[in-house]
Amino acid sequence: MSRHAIFEASVGYFLEPIGQFLADETVSEIMVNGYDCIYVERRGRLIRTDASFPSEDALLTAIHNVAQWVGREISEERPVLDARLPDGSRVHAVIPPSARTGTYLTIRRFTKQVLTVEDLIRFGSLSESAREFIDICVRLRKNIIISGGTGTGKTVLLGAVSRFIPEEERIVVIEDTSELRLIQQHCLYLEAQQADRLGRGGLNVRQLFTNSLRMRPDRIIVGEVRSGEALDMIQSMISGHAGALSTVHANSPLDALIRLETLSLMSDVQIPVYVARAQVASAIHVVIQVTRFSEDGSRKITRIAEARGLNDNNQYKLSDIYVSRFKGRTDEGQIMADLEPTGEKPTFAAEPYEQGMDGRIALTRDLWNAEGGEGLGKGGEYK
């Protein structure tokens, strides 16, 4: 019996109280707020279940079992655990004293079905026109940030958008906890590692990113930017490693740029605020905003904006290329919205024609400028 099979059997035994949810394809997240308080997310909605662990000790034992198998430690001195189950599901646990009212366990289920852009269109999260626009942006090697709150589906969208990367490119994927699965063959996956109790063997996302630059990548994907690695990523974008894809926690495209600026300042490299802002403004080309609607649990792309540098007041300039417009509700109460062009052209409107991508332009012809020159804004004003 292999070690993986033993781990699977062990986890199955200790997590038996939530086993039905781990096997349920309609459940995307399992949230244990204490041994006798368990919620699940099903089709975007939070539901309290009747399931429970026999006791607090039973829940703690299950968490320690997972930690043991992945070679990590959770204790009062280190009360947080990030790990993966044998099927790839992501585990996050917090125990007392950091968890004030009990032991918390959150499992984001690993889904065997990888969603494609076509799936997102079928679900009403994306439009055919926006799909074509994003495809062309990826092939033009624009640096793209996917912005959204917790549970909005940023990683799912990142995986779907990554399918537009040409097969012949060498791709390095960097994640804190590995989730992405790309369809391209030439992919290298790097995952952060916790240090042991003596502080040995740890590798964070920033260290992995620095090392990835020596691996001759054509394209770098960072699962989520959440700390000082933002500065390294931004600087690499403006020094030859174009076409990067990543996600960030933010509620709007403007907030996404501000957060990247703030994270850059968290680096141990001391730089003035205006330098961090100028670098973010120069590096990021497109921000895709994704939102989860609590009314029906749906997740939709609500805006696609182009970042256009800084204005005279040293503030970020953004122009919406696509905006989601509410159209009503279905008989089942599901929100209907169309992601439609605003009429703005991107400033790189001539590039698809300059790079011979005419054949890829069908639904977005009005967005591009075949005559060359910069993109035209509304009313014919150059932006």
Total domains in the fold of the chain:
2
| Claim to verify: residue 137 and residue 258 sit in the same structural domain | yes
- CATH code of the domain containing 235: 3.40.50.300
Range 148-160 average pLDDT:
92
Q: Nearest CA to 236 among 268, 214, 258, 259? A: 214
Coil, strand or helix at 256: helix
Q: What is the pLDDT of residue 40?
A: 96
- Report if residue 377 sits inside a domain: no
Q: What is the pLDDT of residue 53?
A: 97
- Report if residue 160 sits inside a domain: yes
- Report if residue 312 sits inside a domain: yes
Distance CA 342, CA 320 (A): 7
pLDDT tens digits, one per residue of 106-127: 999 877 667 899 999 998 899 9
- Report if residue 311 sits inside a domain: yes
Which of 89, 108, 127 marks a domain boundary? 108
Q: What is the pLDDT of residue 86?
A: 87
| Claim to verify: residue 174 and residue 192 sit in the same structural domain | yes
Which of 75, 108, 141 marks a domain boundary? 108
Range of the domain at 50: 3-108
Distance CA 290, CA 300 (A): 6
| Claim to verify: residue 229 and residue 150 sit in the same structural domain | yes
Query: At residue 37, what are phi and psi to the nearest 5 degrees?
Result: -140, 100
What 8-state DSSP symbol labels residue 368?
Answer: S
Which of 108, 137, 161 marks a domain boundary? 108
pLDDT above 90: residue 198: no
- Report if residue 378 sits inside a domain: no
Residues in Cβ contact with 200 at an 8 Å cutoff, skipping those fewer than 6 apart? none
- Report if residue 354 sits inside a domain: no
Q: Nearest CA to 38 among 29, 48, 46? A: 48
pLDDT tens digits, one per residue of 11-67: 899 999 999 999 998 899 999 999 999 999 988 889 999 999 999 999 999 999 999
Q: Where are the beta strands (DSSP E) in the chain?
A: 27-32, 38-42, 45-48, 80-84, 90-94, 104-108, 144-148, 171-175, 187-191, 219-222, 245-249, 286-292, 299-310, 316-329, 335-341
Cα 12 to Cα 19, 33, 86, distances in angstroms: 7, 20, 10
**Considering the chain, what percentage of its residues have pLDDT values greater than 90?**
67
Q: What is the pLDDT of residue 123?
A: 87
| Claim to verify: residue 322 and residue 191 sit in the same structural domain | yes
Q: What is the pLDDT of residue 66?
A: 93
The tokens 């930017």 sit on which residue? 225
- Report if residue 361 sits inside a domain: no
Structure tokens at 195: 């240090």
pLDDT above 50: residue 180: yes
| Claim to verify: residue 123 and residue 100 sit in the same structural domain | no
* Sign of the dihedral through C-alpha 244, 246, 250, 252: positive
pLDDT above 60: residue 151: yes
| Claim to verify: residue 68 and residue 128 sit in the same structural domain | no
